[in-house]
Amino acid sequence: MLRIVQLLFALLAVSYTQWSSQTYPDPRTDPVACHIPYPGPVCDPSEIITEEEKLVLSDRINRVSFVFNCFFR
């Protein structure tokens, strides 16, 4: 879990310098710009995390959203 939090902070630090809220891609509508194979909750336009980390993070977010009934769509 700590690793995920560290990755999120690293992602925020890099995206803060390169992206704005208006230009950051939406992973639900633009998976190609987010470097993911299909629409989902994770976007990594600067390719900071590995494919495996993206899958793990997406899986965990989807599990939490299922438990709390708040799907990211």
Per-residue pLDDT in tens (0 to 9) along the chain, 73 residues: 677 777 776 666 655 557 888 999 999 999 999 999 999 999 999 899 999 999 999 999 988 888 777 655 5
Cβ atoms of residues 17 and 31 within 8 Å: no
Q: Is the pTM of this model over 0.75?
A: no
Cβ atoms of residues 42 and 57 within 8 Å: yes
Distance of CA 59 to the CA centre of its chain: 11
Q: How far apart are CA 60 and CA 64, in angstroms?
A: 6
**Minimal CA–CA distance to 25: which of 3, 10, 40, 13?**
40
